[in-house]
Amino acid sequence: MSGDLPETVTESKPNKVLHDACEDLWAEILKAHKAGSQKTSSPDEPIPDVTGKYLQAAVEIGDNIPEGLPVDSDFRQKYVIQQLKSTIREQENLLCLMDLMETTLINQLQQEEEDDMKMKSITKALTESSSKRAEAGGINENKYVQEIKHQIEMMKEERLWLSKSLVNFVSKYFPKVHQSTLFSTTKDKEPYSLMKIIMTLIDRNLNHPHDTYITVNSRFSLDYLELLKECRIIECHPKYELKVRLIPHILP
């Protein structure tokens, strides 16, 4: 193996100083290669491609040395070596950064796997606990839903029974009247029954809580209105006597 430069580097007068610097660098590389080849079974093994690439980079750096620097060969050689070392440091820093990012991603993945295992464990424990309580007759959502539905049905039945009973009672003891009303000129419409008057007042109270008064017309019987007033169920408007409403339950 000779100590000449690779074919890619040719000697020329303008690059004489750079050529000498690269030749010295090449001699150092050959010396290191020979020292390493003595420890192997093939001492004539060619120089690795990486070494050739470093030499190629050294030549390119030498060609791109900024203008105005000293032409001294030692200075140029040091400059080339410094640039190569700087490139190596940048690559090492990039490698360290990639290792750090890889470690961070691995830690995040492990943490997510641990969280997933914990959630699965909690879900499994809750499912087993719910199943055991259901088997033991404890808390059961379906059971509560069925109970609520049953209570609602009972309330509907009771309300229907009360409504029918009240209607029957009022119809029996307070039938429709066909005597004088507040406006006796109207004869084409039947007067309201007592139950109808009460239901009209209740509907007004529920649907219009801010204006609970209703206007009395010819279909309201005077007798039933007086009865409701005497029983303190309804009251007249302070200014308009033809308007009545249910007395709030808070009044005595």
Tell me the per-residue pLDDT of 163-174, one tens digit each, with 9 for 90 and over.
777 777 766 666
Structural domains counted in the chain: 3
Q: Does 151 lie in the same domain as 132?
A: no
- Domain for residue 163, yes or no? yes
Residues 92, 81 share a domain: yes
| pLDDT band at 88; cut points 50, 70, 90 | confident
* Residue 52 CB coordination number (10 Å): 14
Q: Supply 251's token pair.
A: 């009044």
Domain assignment present for residue 122? The answer is: yes
For 109-118, the CB contacts below 8 A with 24+ separation are none
Residue 105 in any domain: the answer is yes
| 244 and 196 in a common domain | yes
**Exposure class string for 12-44: b at 16+ Cβ within 10 A, else e:** eeebebbbebbbebbeebbeebeeebeeeeeee
Claim to verify: residue 196 and residue 247 sit in the same structural domain: yes
Question: What's the pLDDT tens digit per position in 184-208?
Answer: 554 557 788 888 888 888 888 888 8
Q: Which two tokens stand for residue 179?
A: 């005597």
Q: Are residues 79 and 130 in the same domain?
A: yes
Which residues, 6 or more positions from 18, have their beta carbon under 8 angstroms from its beta carbon?
Answer: 59, 62, 63, 65, 76
Give residue 132's pLDDT. Answer: 75
Which pLDDT score, from 0 to 100, does residue 215 have? 92
On whether residue 32 sits in a domain, the answer given is no
* pLDDT greater than 70 at residue 84: yes
Does 89 score more than 60 pLDDT? Answer: yes
Domain assignment present for 196: yes
Answer yes or no: is 128 within a domain. yes
pLDDT tens digits, 102-131: 888 888 888 888 888 888 888 888 888 877
- Does 90 map to a domain? yes
Question: pLDDT at position 108, please?
Answer: 86
Per-residue exposure over 178-197, b if at least 16 CB sit within 10 Å of its own CB, e if not: eeebbeeeeeeeebbbbbbb
Burial of 55 (0-12, 13-18, 19+ CB in 10 A): buried
Q: Model-level pTM?
A: 0.31
Q: 106: which strand partners? A: none
Q: For residue 246, is it within any domain? A: yes
The C-alpha atoms of residue 196 and residue 194 are separated, in whole angstroms, by 5
Provide the residue range defining the domain that includes 167.
139-172
